[in-house]
Structure 1
Amino acid sequence: MQKTALVTGGNKGIGLEVTKAFLALNYDVIILARDFKNFELSTHPNVKTIVFDLIQVDAIPALIASLPAIDILINNAGIMYAIPYQNYKNDHINTMLKINLEAPVKLIEEVAKTMLEKGGRIVNNTSIAGQIGHPDIWYGITKAGLINATKSFSKIFEGKIIINAVAPSPVATDMLNTIPQARQEAFLKSVISKRFAQPEEIAKTIVWLSTESPEYINGTVIDINNGSFPR
């Protein structure tokens, strides 16, 4: 039977590479994104695009109820402002909390309603920012929260749903442009290969966790940081 993956932000960056990987495995892919301008796979027969802003957390239950049963959920979408904590306005904080943390948790809650009966997998795209003292404090807070949610839900689901996360260091996507140049240069000095991660490297890990990884890998966060935060 054809399986369905739901990918938030699956129209660009890491999410686009995840979408391509699922299509190569013959999955149906549903993508949630705020827009699909210049999206190269919009006419693909196995792709369904839905314009949706994840800040609308209260609309998520109705959205999921309108879709086919989801076999795999990839919480990939997120935002980062990369501004000093004292310059954060309430709108910045509220938007980041909703998109980076509240929406992924609500999506997990909603897809679990059918996944708990038939099984499924969930992968959350978090960040090294949730593991270290990150300069963008609110971004780090949301990613740390999503890491904690991953671990909590793994216990709640008791193995009926496999849920894991990845925690990449900076990746060569559009989001990289929000990081000040000095921070980029300092980071490059900390990694073994002296380069940023590529989107496809993160995507391969996400797809492996959502399709092939052993079920004993559950409630785990896979670090992808090339030695910049060895543990």
Structure 2
Amino acid sequence: MSLLARCLIARCMRIIIHMSKVAVITGASSGIGLEVAKQLARQGYSLVLNHYAESERTETLLEEMRDVANDVVVIRADISKESDREKIISNTIEEFNAIDVLVNNAGIYHRTAFSDLTEEQYDQTLNVNLKGALFLTQGFLPYFTAQSSVVFMSSINAFIGSDHGVDYNISKLGMIAVTRSLAQELSPKIRVNAIAPGSIDTNLIASDSPQKRQSRIDSQIIKRMGQPQDIAQMVSFLVSKKASFITGQTFHVNGGRYLS
């Protein structure tokens, strides 16, 4: 069957399934990405979930999401590679014909001291966290529906820095510039915003000592660790009609860290 025929069938299926919106989420195998997927699934979105974990995670993620999602596709792909980005785009369009929401959440964090940072590590971080997100967004441009939304997952580290992560911090600060630039260029069809999470209880900080974990909490006004659900709820708001007058902004979800 030709791509055109598959697209026509997919378009008809979207009509039959009450025109459910389509969300593509990168880095969706765990943590924030997984919780965003569940949140949007509960709101009736059809999902395309990208991950680059072990191959077996494709099937387990699919099974996990079938309990909450009406329609879900899982794609294992490295967004730093052009061929893998093309795979995500082509699979999405073949299945659903269009895209309404893109959440650029995939990222890596080496936790390497500056004195030990290699060019290979630096390139890998920037290629995944920044370049991959930028060019995946570009690749989807012909397929975004009217009033679409793109969310870039930045970090508090873009604003306060951190030791053992200069490459990561640069990539997350770059996302802020991308957000502001694309919001201007892609308006009014596509809204573009960023979220800068603070200390969120995910695998990214799972190796923290109890003392480090407590210091994170002590640095905030709200005395608890952030949860993936806190970020997922912000994503849910930003991609909804309630945020139709919001674009080019960065939302800081960090328990009041800046005021502590």
Q: Distance in 1 between the 2:43 and 2:252 partners?
A: 24
Once the 2 structures are TM-superposed, how far is the Cα of residue 10 of structure 1 from its aligned partner? 1.6
2:154 aligned residue = 126
Secondary structure of the structure 1 residue equivalent to 2:140: helix
Structure 1 stretches of 4+ with a deviation exceeding 4 A read 42-45, 178-183
Amino acid at match of 2:168: Y
**Residue 7 (str. 1) matches residue 30 (str. 2):** no
Deviations for 1:34-78, whole angstroms, at most 9, x for unmatched residues? 135243525455111011112214542454134221110001111
Higher alpha-carbon deviation: 205-214 or 50-59: 50-59
Contact 2:237 2:243 in 1 (8 A): no
Q: Distance in 2 between the 1:62 and 1:143 partners?
A: 25
Which one has the largest radius of gyration? 2
In structure 1, the gaps of 5 or more residues are: none
Q: 1:142 aligns with which of 155, 159, 171?
A: 171
Q: Distance in 1 between the 2:75 and 2:238 partners?
A: 24
Q: Distance in 2 between the 1:75 and 1:107 partners?
A: 8
Q: Distance in 2 between the 1:58 and 1:230 partners?
A: 44
**Residue 41 (str. 1) matches residue 64 (str. 2):** yes
Number of equivalenced pairs = 230
Contact 2:27 2:33 in 1 (8 A): yes
Once the 2 structures are TM-superposed, how far is the Cα of residue 197 of structure 1 from its aligned partner? 0.4
**Residue 23 (str. 1) matches residue 36 (str. 2):** no
Amino acid at match of 1:134: S
Contact 1:32 1:50 in 2 (8 A): yes
**Residue 155 (str. 1) matches residue 184 (str. 2):** yes
Higher alpha-carbon deviation: 105-114 or 161-170: 105-114
Q: Distance in 2 between the 1:190 and 1:206 partners?
A: 24
**Residue 216 (str. 1) matches residue 234 (str. 2):** no
In structure 2, the gaps of 5 or more residues are: 1-18
Contact 2:48 2:75 in 1 (8 A): yes
Secondary structure of the structure 2 residue equivalent to 1:131: helix
1:201 aligned residue = 230
Q: Distance in 2 between the 1:148 and 1:22 partners?
A: 26
Contact 2:26 2:104 in 1 (8 A): yes
Amino acid at match of 1:53: D
Contact 1:10 1:33 in 2 (8 A): yes
User: Kindly tell me: are residues 181 and 113 of structure 1, through their superposed partners in 2, closer, same or farther at Cα, counting changes over 3 Å?
Assistant: farther
2:76 aligned residue = 51
After superposition, the CA RMSD in angstroms is 2.0
Q: Distance in 1 between the 2:208 and 2:166 partners?
A: 13
User: Kindly tell me: are residues 58 and 132 of structure 1, through their superposed partners in 2, closer, same or farther at Cα, counting changes over 3 Å?
Assistant: farther
User: Kindly tell me: are residues 118 and 193 of structure 1, through their superposed partners in 2, closer, same or farther at Cα, counting changes over 3 Å?
Assistant: closer
Contact 1:82 1:179 in 2 (8 A): no
Q: Distance in 2 between the 1:217 and 1:141 partners?
A: 25
**Residue 96 (str. 1) matches residue 96 (str. 2):** no
**Which has more helix, going by share of residues?**
2
Once the 2 structures are TM-superposed, how far is the Cα of residue 193 of structure 1 from its aligned partner? 2.4
Once the 2 structures are TM-superposed, how far is the Cα of residue 11 of structure 1 from its aligned partner? 2.1
Contact 1:15 1:76 in 2 (8 A): yes
1:169 aligned residue = 198
Once the 2 structures are TM-superposed, how far is the Cα of residue 178 of structure 1 from its aligned partner? 4.5
Secondary structure of the structure 1 residue equivalent to 2:160: coil
Deviations for 1:6-48, whole angstroms, at most 9, x for unmatched residues? 0001221111111111111111100010135243525455111
